[in-house]
Amino acid sequence: MNAIDIINKTKKAITLTDDEIRWLVENYTNGEIPDYQMSAWLMAVRLNGLTEEETKSLTYAMRDSGEIIRLKAEGITADKHSTGGVGDKTTLIIGPIAAACGICVAKMSGRGLGHTGGTIDKLESISGFRTELPVDEFERILRKTGFAVISQSGELCPADKKMYDLRNATGTVDSIPLIAASIMSKKLAVNADCLVLDVKYGSGAFMKTRESAQQLADLMEKIGKGAEKRCKAEVTDMDSPLGLNIGNALEVAEAIEVLQGKVKGKLYDTSIQLAADMLQLAGKGSYEECVKMAVEAVDSGRALDVLRETIKLQGGDPSVCDDVSLLPVARCSYEVRAVQDMKIIRINCEEIGMTSLLLGAGRLCKGDPIDMTAGIIMHVGPGDSVSTGDTLMTLYSTLCSDFSDAAVRALNAIDFESVNCHKPLT
């Protein structure tokens, strides 16, 4: 085999064999195939796609390029993945709910790049919380609470890391087979029995249309089932932020308030839906029965107890579960107000995410520091009517004291209708 023949076959949309794909991945990972040849193959994939079987072969080869975790946990294990979005903190809600219902939720997460932080960034806003744990300690916490979150291992899917960096540099990120292989190779390397996939679509998501999100969801579900995992993919909306709080400490506070039973709405509903999917996959009953179990886990306080104990065992301050004001608080804030009477038609979720980035809640480059206090609390949503002077959202930051650019961007993210105007604020 040689790389040129493989590139030419994909360029001509000729199906590759499993052996050819495994050879390509293995030799690129060990440095035998140079970046320029892998770049050519990735572009051929971007233009011509891969068959379902080729995508499975690619995923499994990437999974097998590094460590595969074999957890010594009791009972059924589960994991979830979200393709990401603005205000998405469902892991902090779903994990404790499912654990309170008898499932072991072993979550390996990453840091964020862009918009806001990832799950690891959010958790590290809790004083003392440790995410870099040895596997044996991770397993001990799982056996005790049923829920733990650690940062991604450097030994996990090295092929994906190399290929993802190259895709970023060559304009080949937006390929559904490559996206599916990247996500699923890491999920399968974690090796949980059950896998729930939350595929987002809309202005605040990578997949902008429901159709493209459904295509990705269907493909990832087939890959998971092909690896003999119990797998279910849901397509959910990210045209507006998930919840009211955007930013690391702010999102942890909102997740805790959901588990306290104080917050309902879109975030609560999505979390219950995904938790019920996880419970059903684990054999806990019908979907309707699993919804009732998830709701009861919140209403009884058992899910909050799981989160409290997990935070304690991972070195964090568990008292935040009783008093969210103990989380980091921004030194500066600014209220964005309506300049006229209006009805909110739409909120550009991506622009709200970029506003939070301006405030310091996310990172532009890997390794950039994050302001754990920075972010936005939304006070309005689509369909709401407001009067002149009403607060639309509050901006928070410790590193940023001049809110002028962020406020303008936030205002321009709102589409509204009024008596004489049908355009965004400027």
Catalytic residue among 122, 167, 187, 363: 167
Instruction: Tell me the three-class secondary structure of the chain, residue by residue.
Output: CCHHHHHHHHHCCCCCCHHHHHHHHHHHHCCCCCHHHHHHHHHHHHHHCCCHHHHHHHHHHHHCCCCCCCCCCCCCEEEEEECCCCCCCCHHHHHHHHHHCCCEEEEEECCCCECCCCHHHHHCCCCCCCCCCCHHHHHHHHHHHCEEEEECCCCCCHHHHHHHHHHHHHCCCCCHHHHHHHHHHHHHHHCCCEEEEEEEECCCCCECCHHHHHHHHHHHHHHHHHCCCEEEEEEEECCCCCCCEECHHHHHHHHHHHHCCCCCCHHHHHHHHHHHHHHHHCCCCCHHHHHHHHHHHHHCCHHHHHHHHHHHHCCCCHHHHCCHHHCCCCCEEEEEECCCCEEEEEECHHHHHHHHHHHCCCECCCCCCCCCCCEEEECCCCCCEECCCCEEEEEEECCCCCCHHHHHHHHHCEEEECCCCCCCCC
Catalytic residue among 182, 185, 212, 397: 182
Catalytic residue among 46, 63, 81, 230: 81
Judge whether 46 counts as a catalytic residue: no
Catalytic residue among 64, 79, 121, 160: 160
Tokens of 423: 């355009």
Judge whether 186 counts as a catalytic residue: yes
Judge whether 182 counts as a catalytic residue: yes
Catalytic residue among 46, 89, 186, 222: 186
Judge whether 422 counts as a catalytic residue: no
**Enzyme catalytic residues:** 81, 160, 167, 182, 186
